[in-house]
Amino acid sequence: MRLKGQVAIVTGAASGFGAEIARRYASEGARVVLADLNEEGAREVAAPLGADAFAMKCDVASRGDIESLVSETLERFGSVDVVVNNAGFTHKNQALLEVDEATFDRIFAINVKAIYYMVFAVLPTMRRNRKGVILNVGSVAGIRPRPGLTWYNSSKGAVNTLSKSLAVELGPEGIRVNSICPVMGETGMLEAFMGMADTPENRKKFVATIPLGRLARPEDIAKAAVYLASDEAEFITGVEFPVDGGRTI
């Protein structure tokens, strides 16, 4: 029960990394708010978690939606102690000049600007409490980029850097900020990252670049998110935390 008594918001919680983070947080004693544009999916994940979890529709690219999410969390649970900015978006693996401007804007709205909105929404409460944890799901793409994902890579580089900057600025107020950096994972965005069909043969090309010999799994990211949100990590802030099987070595 490493998160007992904590209130956590997890975005992009209807599937993949976010869903497993929400489940793990609940199993560790946290009250969890599952936010996703796919409200039905988020409700399906939340239902087995009991009364200490609820789902809410939220477009993280909308400041109004983020503010409503935080307001409803405070109304129900009275606090926001942990935020996991997990919702993400990518373009298909392709030549950089083939990505249109609307897609570029959407990538940065979801991957970067959403964190701006969330920080503005939760910071007043965390400052009053003199504590808080913000976890941003960055990527090894922002550390060691793959070709064909230039604009996505750059958005995750921004996430990694802003996490460090937030950590420096908010540390004196007892607020920790870290970036979790997964390698390519077994999620719904896998084919977009690969830029080809998800077949065993195609997977081998990408797995070959990971020393531990497999892709990231949702439980890998969830375990890291539990640790970084817990008191066990009370002296850890401003890190790019690779969960990558050695990919960034």
> Which are the catalytic amino acids?
152
CA 4, distance to chain mean position in Å, is: 21
CB 87 within 8 A of CB 12: yes
Angle made by CA atoms 82, 229, 149, in degrees to the nearest 5: 85
Ramachandran area for residue 135 (φ above 0: left; ψ -120 to 50: alpha; else beta): beta
Q: Is beta strand 82-85 parallel, antiparallel or unpaired with respect to 132-137?
A: parallel
What 3-state DSSP class applies to 187?
coil
What 3-state DSSP class applies to 197?
coil
